[in-house]
Structure 1
Amino acid sequence: MQLAVKSGQFENELTSDRRDLGQDPERALGRVVSCDGSRATIASTVSGMTRLGPDSWAVGRMISINLGSSRIVGLVYEMHAVNPVWDEAADNIVHVQVEMLGEVTESPEGRVRFQSGITTYPPIGSIAHRIRTGDLALVHDLGSRNGVAVGTLTQDSSIPATISIDDMLARHFALLGTTGVGKSSAVALLLRRAIAARSRLRVLILDPHNEYAGAFPDRALSIDAEGLDLPFWMFRLEEFGEIVFRGRAAFEEEADILREVVATARERYRGASQRNPMRDLNSSLLKRPLDAGIARREDGMGSATDMPTPYRIVDALAIIDELIGLHEMRWPRAALRSLKVRLETLHSDPRYQFMFARANMMETMAPVLAQIFRVPHHGRPITVFQLGGLPSEVVDAVASVLARLAFDLAMASQGTYEILLLCEEAHRYVPADQSLGFLPTRQAIARIAKEGRKYGAYLGVVTQRPGELDPTILSQCSTIFAMRLANEHDQQIIRAAISDASASTLKFLSSVGNREAIAFGEGVATTMRMRFADLAPHELPAMDIAIGVEGRREPGLEEMVRRMRG
């Protein structure tokens, strides 16, 4: 195929197309030779001996096509030489494939604006340019929305990459990327920008690797297993059962016994049965499980009597003993004794002291909520909840409690407290496989994703394996920061979940650099390839692990064993 423009004529026309003679004559790159509804092909020539500069044709860069009264903005996603043999002594014709994103228009008064979509398509022969800096900034301008800079554009580092914090939070967001690409530092940056822009915002980070404790030294409270107070009575029956039975399927009899024992222990704590304990046993414990007043709540999040009211483990154990001593056996003694052993073992295990040690010193949820959700925050609106120090069998239940409380507190505050729940390694809590994970945790997080916006409860999802994340949760996140993803299945999941992401843009997911991301959705003006800003060394996650290892004292074996035992 031959390019029907002579070199001299082409150069004269490109020079006359410049807005002023001070512009670089090399800004013009080629001409449109084909066009369909969304893409165009541009033909250009490259001298065989030319040393290509950074502003030459490059995949991932934006260009503009001049139509006189407007300029079409396009994204280069593919390029190839027409002749497969490169000629060092002559000009070589190249074809560049461009996806058309929108157009820049100028009003008679001189107002310039960018709009997505194409109203006028380029005719054959239209001239393609390197995009003007002003046009590139205009493409990513948020307009009347408040914008916060979180980095710079990859194509032009002089242009800030801005996002709308309001839209990013209100409609939830996700940050996806493989290990080692800078997800954690990007999360830390976004959270710092969010709390600076929203004074009422509280952030709760579910941190499974204990890496955020040092990322917010001036703005966060870090809670580990030793400093945590989460009384066992705040767990709903399903959540408490997950801990009691250690994630294994319990015998149906034991689960039913636990249900009645907990309900009766709550009644006894309130004093309803203190005058006549045996009458209470006869009136409530001897009933059938389905007749014990356990009614399902309308929201599907537990039972009407399964509310977080205090009770004592000693009362629960006493009730089991009383059941064992009844002449008319309601339950097999083996099942009763097995449940009692489980509760006693749990209560005496030092790893679970966060649930039992100070549980009955608190008769309300207020001190727990004040600590976890920073009410008042005293200048530290972020809570880093270190799940890494908890027993593995309790993590899902704790995550369920925290997600549920986040939604309930936001709803009870009627929007005066805005709460962002950030889930690191989110595929652990809401996996794509419905048979995996813990159902109450999935329900609590899904409730925030679906209904939280109405009450000021927001969700942030961070994962390195979006293919293992429930696509329903991902589809609720309207702003996506996609960092490098090498796995093809993960890339397909994003394409399927995000309807407005262009296929050509997502082709770059396997090759973006560290701390780079492709951002799209409600929180940005248009699909944007960006690089997150640098953080100060003391603001980086995992700083306590990243430095200081050389000079640390090596702990003794006994000390490490004590840590392992909690």
Structure 2
Amino acid sequence: MESPKKTLGVITSVEGDVSQVGMYSMSNDAEFIWYGEILTGPKIGAYLTINQNEIKIIATVSIEKVIDQQNSIKSSEFDNRYSKNSINRIISLKTKGVIEAGKFKVTSQYVPMIGNEVTLTTLDELKIIYGIENNEPTIKLGKSILENQPIQLSINKFFASHIGIFGNTGSGKSNTLHKLYLELFRSDFYEQIKQKSQFFVMDFNGEYSSTNSDDSTRKGIFGVEIENKEIYEINTRDSIRGRKLPVERKYIFDADILAILFDARPATQVPFLRSSIKEFNEKLLTAHFDFGAYTTGTLKKILTSGSSTNQDSFQDWVDTAKKYLRNKDLFSELDQIRQINGNYKIDTPEIWFNSGSNEGITPEKLGKSGISKISEELKKLFNSLRSTPIHQLQMFLEFQKVHRTAWGKVNREHLNPLFNRIISSLQSLEKVIEVKERAIEDYKMMNVISLVHSNQEITRLIPMLLSKMIYDEQKSLVSGKSVHQTKHLIIDEAHNILNSEYRNNGDDWQDYRLSVFEEIIKEGRKFGFYLTLSSQRPADISPTILSQTHNYLIHRLVNEQDLRMLENTMPTLDKSSYQMIPCLGQGEAIITGNAMSVPVFVKIDKEELLRPTSDDIKLTDLWRRP
């Protein structure tokens, strides 16, 4: 049997969605004990229930004041205002929605009317407001700030969506992100999660790469066993300490991605890269591809083209070959070569390479000049690099540069700056990437990619590369079918890679990267691909990406641009909740979005053992250490 309601007052005026309540008592108790339940009193932000027949209109307290009922004379001689018996308490309520047939919904069908009684909102009503149905699977994230009641999040409504976690440094957003997934893995669904879902964490600051574990369960920071978790320390400074990231060949040897990595200029360098990488991919698919014959073909053509080639092209070819073949004796004959009347000649033994076709270079000349041996050694070296195809690519591109510039089709001065960047970038890439034909099977259920020890170009590239690969894999897996597996991409400090400031300003990396992530957030949900973003600067994130996020956990933010961005992109965030954002304490957050009927203020529980390494440093403790 339902307990009687604790009545507080009656509606005395209604203006739009704001109502005034004349209180029956001046009591200002923060809490009431009512039939065994501790209920929140009528303080700012608290829920109250307006009773209208069988309908319960739910509202929050927005203003509280008193009025003098007896005296209004302002003369100090007669002024007896605010005496014990002369004042009455008035509160203003803002309507949020109604409870009808045991369910909460936002609607304008029912509005408060003068004379409706106002009562304390019961715990059962709070559960309905928070959208928790009795049989719905949930996780507990913390307790409501005002009512001190457990806040349960629907697993289905929350995790099958894109999630945004925002807050200033020190506000508790890292703890919230960690707690969200830790509680998911503590749920009754964990065994099936291991079989049907994968999680990828982009960790820019190394906060989630800790090896801390719960000795009693042998589970790591996210509550996942060691055998189901992998931490990839992407380290461009020390490749021995880092763990290489498996990436499929087609994503590494993609002209668009490499043009971005090499910062290639669109007009002069990108066309060279596109054609060269296309040829590289085609040649590697050719059975028994002979790299030595392919590259010495350029040399033979240079030797028989006479003065129609650039005068430095022969020496460019020899210098490139010497770079890779350390045996200088191989070049003893070619080092003597000189040009006489447009024809190349070797003095000892005497060999002439006359202008004309390659047919003029007989097998005997190729043998005596050392070209045959050089060709064989280049073939052996290239084949020996099959396990490190990034080295193969560098070697291929350098010989392509000689070939393309020998006859003036491409200006070598345009390519020289590009090759300085190519060598540097590929060296960094080789330290952190393992190229595979199929890579997705190498990843475990939980994968943390730590970028704290990587340089800027790799930090820019890896999140985009991995995100595109796993999204394409998921899209291919479920396209045209029902979703039977899911992938969850979690990006901490998301403003590092989702900043839209440079878009359309000639920054190809920015444009390509944003197009990748905008496609993911627009289309990913229907393919079972879900994105979680955490950032201290939501204003720096692309508005397209932010507006497509479904659920938000907002910690303290004070920057005006960040607050304005939230106001413009979150339709579920009401004005009163918005105004409270700068006042939130550490670990306090507003949860709003499709999964919540109304914004909820919650104090996030903090884990004592398993938690990210994001705690504030206590300088006095540090200085006490010997």
* Aligned twin of 1:69: 54
CA apart distance, 1:522: 1.9
Give the counterpart of 1:277 among 276, 294, 307: 294
Q: Which amino acid aligns with 2:262?
A: V
* Aligned twin of 1:335: 414
8 Å Cα contact 2:170/2:616 also seen in 1: no
Unaligned runs of 5+ in 2: 32-39, 75-80, 211-220, 235-241, 300-386
1:505-524 to structure 2, matched below 5 A, reads 505-524=577-596
CA apart distance, 1:331: 1.3
Unaligned runs of 5+ in 1: 1-17, 107-111, 283-308, 375-380, 555-566
CA 1:440–1:547 in structure 2 vs 1: closer, same or farther (change >3 Å)?
farther
Distance in 1 (CA, whole Å) between partners of 2:151 and 2:256 is 45
Render the CA deviation track for 1:39-79: whole Å, top value 9, x for unaligned. 212233775xx774444431111011222433221111233
Q: Which amino acid aligns with 1:41?
A: Q
8 Å Cα contact 2:203/2:491 also seen in 1: yes
Distance in 1 (CA, whole Å) between partners of 2:43 and 2:410 is 74
* Aligned twin of 1:208: 204
TM-score using structure 1 length? 0.75
8 Å Cα contact 2:57/2:98 also seen in 1: yes
Q: Which amino acid aligns with 1:228?
A: K
Q: Which amino acid aligns with 1:167?
A: K
Corresponding residue SS for 2:603: strand
CA apart distance, 1:385: 0.8
Is 1:473 aligned to 2:545, yes or no?
A: yes
Render the CA deviation track for 1:160-179: whole Å, top value 9, x for unaligned. 21222222233311112222
Render the CA deviation track for 1:357-402: whole Å, top value 9, x for unaligned. xx4xx54133xx234x31xxxxxx2211111111012212111101
CA apart distance, 1:440: 2.4
CA 1:280–1:513 in structure 2 vs 1: closer, same or farther (change >3 Å)?
farther
Distance in 1 (CA, whole Å) between partners of 2:99 and 2:436 is 63
Distance in 1 (CA, whole Å) between partners of 2:198 and 2:396 is 41
Query: Which range moved further: 468-477 or 251-260?
Result: 251-260
Structure 1 or 2, whichever has the larger Rg, is: 2
Q: Which amino acid aligns with 2:606?
A: D
1:466-505 to structure 2, matched below 5 A, reads 466-505=538-577
Distance in 1 (CA, whole Å) between partners of 2:246 and 2:618 is 32
CA 1:480–1:229 in structure 2 vs 1: closer, same or farther (change >3 Å)?
closer
8 Å Cα contact 1:42/1:98 also seen in 2: yes
CA apart distance, 1:421: 0.7
* Aligned twin of 1:104: 99
* Aligned twin of 2:19: 40
Distance in 1 (CA, whole Å) between partners of 2:64 and 2:431 is 62
Distance in 2 (CA, whole Å) between partners of 1:105 and 1:137 is 14
CA apart distance, 1:456: 1.2
Distance in 2 (CA, whole Å) between partners of 1:352 and 1:82 is 75
8 Å Cα contact 2:59/2:93 also seen in 1: yes
* Aligned twin of 2:612: 541
CA 1:95–1:227 in structure 2 vs 1: closer, same or farther (change >3 Å)?
same
Distance in 2 (CA, whole Å) between partners of 1:471 and 1:319 is 39
Give the counterpart of 2:391 among 313, 316, 320: 313
Distance in 2 (CA, whole Å) between partners of 1:277 and 1:170 is 52
CA apart distance, 1:452: 0.8
* Aligned twin of 1:228: 244
Distance in 2 (CA, whole Å) between partners of 1:169 and 1:448 is 16
8 Å Cα contact 2:30/2:42 also seen in 1: no
8 Å Cα contact 2:572/2:599 also seen in 1: no
Give the counterpart of 1:135 among 117, 125, 134: 125
Render the CA deviation track for 1:112-134: whole Å, top value 9, x for unaligned. 44333254433213222221222
1:1-12 to structure 2, matched below 5 A, reads none
Q: Which amino acid aligns with 1:223?
A: Y
Is 1:92 aligned to 2:87, yes or no?
A: yes
Distance in 1 (CA, whole Å) between partners of 2:625 and 2:270 is 47
Q: Which amino acid aligns with 1:221?
A: E
Corresponding residue SS for 1:181: coil
Corresponding residue SS for 2:452: helix
* Aligned twin of 2:432: 354
Render the CA deviation track for 1:225-251: whole Å, top value 9, x for unaligned. 211235695333233233323xxx637
Distance in 1 (CA, whole Å) between partners of 2:560 and 2:612 is 28
8 Å Cα contact 1:320/1:336 also seen in 2: no
Query: Which range moved further: 268-277 or 514-523?
Result: 268-277
* Aligned twin of 1:291: none
8 Å Cα contact 2:224/2:446 also seen in 1: no
* Aligned twin of 1:431: 499
* Aligned twin of 1:385: 449
Distance in 2 (CA, whole Å) between partners of 1:491 and 1:244 is 37
Distance in 2 (CA, whole Å) between partners of 1:43 and 1:254 is 75
8 Å Cα contact 1:100/1:118 also seen in 2: no
Distance in 2 (CA, whole Å) between partners of 1:213 and 1:91 is 64
Q: Which amino acid aligns with 1:393?
A: E
Corresponding residue SS for 1:389: coil
1:68-467 to structure 2, matched below 5 A, reads 68-82=53-67, 87=82, 89-105=84-100, 112-143=102-133, 145-157=136-148, 159-195=149-185, 196=187, 197=189, 199=193, 200-214=196-210, 215-216=221-222, 218-219=224-225, 220-225=229-234, 226-230=242-246, 233=249, 234-235=251-252, 236-245=254-263, 250=265, 252-271=267-286, 274=290, 277=294, 311-321=389-399, 323-324=401-402, 327-348=406-427, 353-355=431-433, 359=434, 362-366=435-439, 369-371=440-442, 373-374=443-444, 381-414=445-478, 415-433=483-501, 434=503, 435=505, 438-467=510-539
8 Å Cα contact 2:232/2:245 also seen in 1: no
8 Å Cα contact 1:72/1:118 also seen in 2: no
Corresponding residue SS for 1:538: coil
CA 1:258–1:469 in structure 2 vs 1: closer, same or farther (change >3 Å)?
same
Distance in 1 (CA, whole Å) between partners of 2:546 and 2:527 is 20
CA 1:87–1:421 in structure 2 vs 1: closer, same or farther (change >3 Å)?
same
TM-score using structure 2 length? 0.68
Distance in 1 (CA, whole Å) between partners of 2:388 and 2:516 is 22
Distance in 1 (CA, whole Å) between partners of 2:197 and 2:297 is 46
Residues paired across the two proteins, number? 479
